[in-house]
């Protein structure tokens, strides 16, 4: 019904619809800042699992990479596909598929096709290239990945990254992290 209203009013180029709600206030603020500065920050997205970017998160209706496109667009930022051309790097911690954390197979599935070490190594590399870096921890709903947080702590990186979220739904986490790192960019 809402989509039909948008099309009937011919405003589909002005309205963005995607999963998420809690981050909307931050998104509107960052969009206003980008518009005021007349700049579209360039964001590179790095996934811990390339297979995971095509997985559909719990409570959502589309692959996470599709939501990512709209989250970035809603801030009036621009997605780029290489770290060298980016102002900002968004590192997304996820496995190759989404499984509820209470499922006894969750840790096995989560670690399939992904490595915390290589993920954190990339984050460290992006920081060494003087990029603004945020981590969207979408591995599990309603909590951060304890192994990732511990590994970041062991490497003394918790206060080197510029943004982190790992809560509620994947979209809330993505939007929060994207907006944290855009704000830090300015």
On whether the CB atoms of residues 85 and 94 are closer than 8 A, the answer is no
| pLDDT tens string 121-173 | 999 999 999 999 999 999 888 888 889 999 999 999 999 999 999 988 888 99
To 5 degrees, how large is the angle CA 157–CA 76–CA 71? Answer: 60
Compute, in degrees rounded to 10, the torsion defined by CA atoms 148, 152, 158, 161: -80
Please give the order of strands across the beta sheet that includes 163-165: 78-80, 42-47, 88-93, 132-137, 163-165
pTM of this prediction?
Answer: 0.89
- Token pair listed for 97: 């598929």
Query: What integer pLDDT is reported at residue 58 of this predicted model?
Result: 78
Q: What is the pLDDT along the chain (186 residues), one digit of tens a residue?
A: 777 888 888 887 777 767 677 788 899 999 999 999 999 999 999 999 988 898 888 787 889 899 999 999 999 999 999 999 999 999 999 876 666 666 666 666 666 667 889 999 999 999 999 999 999 999 888 888 889 999 999 999 999 999 999 988 888 999 999 999 999 999
Angle (CA) 128-125-109 rounded to 5° is 150
Secondary structure of residue 78 in the 3-state scheme: strand
């Amino acid at each position: 019904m809402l989509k039909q209203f948008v099309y009937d009013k011919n405003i589909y180029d002005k309205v963005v619809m995607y999963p998420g709600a809690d981050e909307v206030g931050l998104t509107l603020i960052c969009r206003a800042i980008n518009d005021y500065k007349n700049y579209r920050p360039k964001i590179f997205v790095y996934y811990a699992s390339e297979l995971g970017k095509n997985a559909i998160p719990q409570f959502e209706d589309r692959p996470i990479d599709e939501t990512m496109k709209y989250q970035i667009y809603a801030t009036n930022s621009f997605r780029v596909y290489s770290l060298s051309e980016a102002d900002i790097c968004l590192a997304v911690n996820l496995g190759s598929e989404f499984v509820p954390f209470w499922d006894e197979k969750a840790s096995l599935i989560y670690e399939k096709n992904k490595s915390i070490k290589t993920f954190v190594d990339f984050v460290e590399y992006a920081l060494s290239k003087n990029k603004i870096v945020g981590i969207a921890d979408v591995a599990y709903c309603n909590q951060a990945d304890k192994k990732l947080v511990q590994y970041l702590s062991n490497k003394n990186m918790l206060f080197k990254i510029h943004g982190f979220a790992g809560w509620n739904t994947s979209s809330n986490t993505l939007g929060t992290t994207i907006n944290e790192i855009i704000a830090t960019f300015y």
